[in-house]
Amino acid sequence: MQLSMENQEHFKGEGYVVVRGGLQDSDLDPVIAEYEAYIDRRARELKAEGKISQLYEDESFGRRLTRICEEDGTIYNELDIMHFRGRALFDFLRNDHLMDLVEGLMGPEISCNPIQHLRPKMPSKTSKTPNTHVAAWHQDAAVIREESDPHFVLTVWIPMCDATLENGCMHVIPRVVGKGLLHTAGPVLQEAEMPPQPAVPLPMKKGDVLLMHKETPHSSTPNVSDSIRWSMDLRYQPAGTPSGREVYPSFVSRSRANPQSVLTDHEEWCRLWIEGLERGKGFKFYRW
């Protein structure tokens, strides 16, 4: 699906746009299947080690990890993109439907930014995992180093299940773009730094895609449902511009001028991340 004029205008005016049905199940399901297979394998290992009492095989994708993590939280920290590094996940980062949406705002020379996460937001009542994916108000510009300030970086937030008010969907503050960085002392916006406009909650269906400017303040709320809110937040920048996190690997994910420059080698991507994670130890990720 190409980004419509209406979508583009909404992004320009409001600083974000939700593209309804921008992706299909066939885009997301290979990633979900890869995670399901991994969780299944790790559950068997944890069971064999006596760390969990059962495999919870009959539970859905949204619930199985919750049940496992109620007994042992080990798997939880293994799932973020840079640690998990699955092949289907890597392929998804340059998925054609996704790249078409990004191209609609950025043009056809696109680099995948290493500030990228896969978040299984656990029900808040699950006690054995940290409540890490409840995001306080921030602009993504605040987590990107200053060398990237003059450049366009697009956040792409993708629910892998329906994201609702109950399970902790995203909220944004519109019409802030152009005012620069509102943060003065750290990566969380303080009360006095918050724009006056009311926040807009963004419930989204699986398949919807949120495109957001790096200056748009956003947050997410706790998951008070009994199922996981799975999502990815990815970032893209025009190829050749700084990522704002140079210690980690960027790669060209679409290029119409030089298609050969697109990274398609999964093993190479894994190698770049392994090196990057090593290099990033002790690196100062924030400007403050």
Ligand X SMILES: O=C(O)CCC(=O)C(=O)O
- CA-CA distance, 105 to 92, in Å (whole number)? 19
> Is 237 an interacting residue with respect to ligand X (CB under 6 A)?
no
Residue 118 beta carbon to ligand X: minimum distance, rounded to whole angstroms = 10
- CA-CA distance, 76 to 79, in Å (whole number)? 6
Residue 46 beta carbon to ligand X: minimum distance, rounded to whole angstroms = 26
DSSP state of 199: P
Contacts of residue 96, defined as CB under 8 A and 6 or more positions apart, other chains included, come to none
Spell out, one character per residue from 179 to 218, where the chain touches ligand X: x when CB under 6 A holds, - when not: ---------------------------------------x
64, 94, 119, 213: which one binds ligand X (CB under 6 A): 119
> Is 157 an interacting residue with respect to ligand X (CB under 6 A)?
yes
- CA-CA distance, 232 to 160, in Å (whole number)? 7
> Is 223 an interacting residue with respect to ligand X (CB under 6 A)?
no
Q: Yes or no: say if 156 and 104 are a contact pair by the CB < 8 Å rule.
A: no
Q: Cβ closer to ligand X: 216 or 250?
A: 216
Partners of 119 in beta bridges: 231
Q: Cβ closer to ligand X: 88 or 135?
A: 135
Q: Cβ closer to ligand X: 94 or 218?
A: 218
Residue 231 beta carbon to ligand X: minimum distance, rounded to whole angstroms = 5
Q: Which residues of 153-181 are buried (b: 16+ CB within 10 A; e: fewer)?
A: bbbbbbbbbbbbebbbbbbbbbebbeeee
Size, binding site for ligand X by CB under 6 A: 11
> Is 133 an interacting residue with respect to ligand X (CB under 6 A)?
yes
Q: Cβ closer to ligand X: 110 or 142?
A: 142
> Is 233 an interacting residue with respect to ligand X (CB under 6 A)?
yes
- CA-CA distance, 60 to 66, in Å (whole number)? 10
Q: How many other CB atoms are found less than 10 A from the CB of residue 53?
A: 10
> Is 129 an interacting residue with respect to ligand X (CB under 6 A)?
no
> Is 135 an interacting residue with respect to ligand X (CB under 6 A)?
yes
Order the strands of the 16-19 sheet from edge to edge.
16-19, 209-213, 154-159, 229-238, 110-121, 251-254
186, containing H or E segment: none
Residue 264 beta carbon to ligand X: minimum distance, rounded to whole angstroms = 26
129, 227, 231, 253: which one binds ligand X (CB under 6 A): 231
Partners of 156 in beta bridges: 211, 234
Q: Cβ closer to ligand X: 152 or 261?
A: 152
Q: Yes or no: say if 96 and 208 are a contact pair by the CB < 8 Å rule.
A: no
- List contacts with ligand X (CB under 6 A): 119, 121, 133, 135, 140, 155, 157, 218, 220, 231, 233
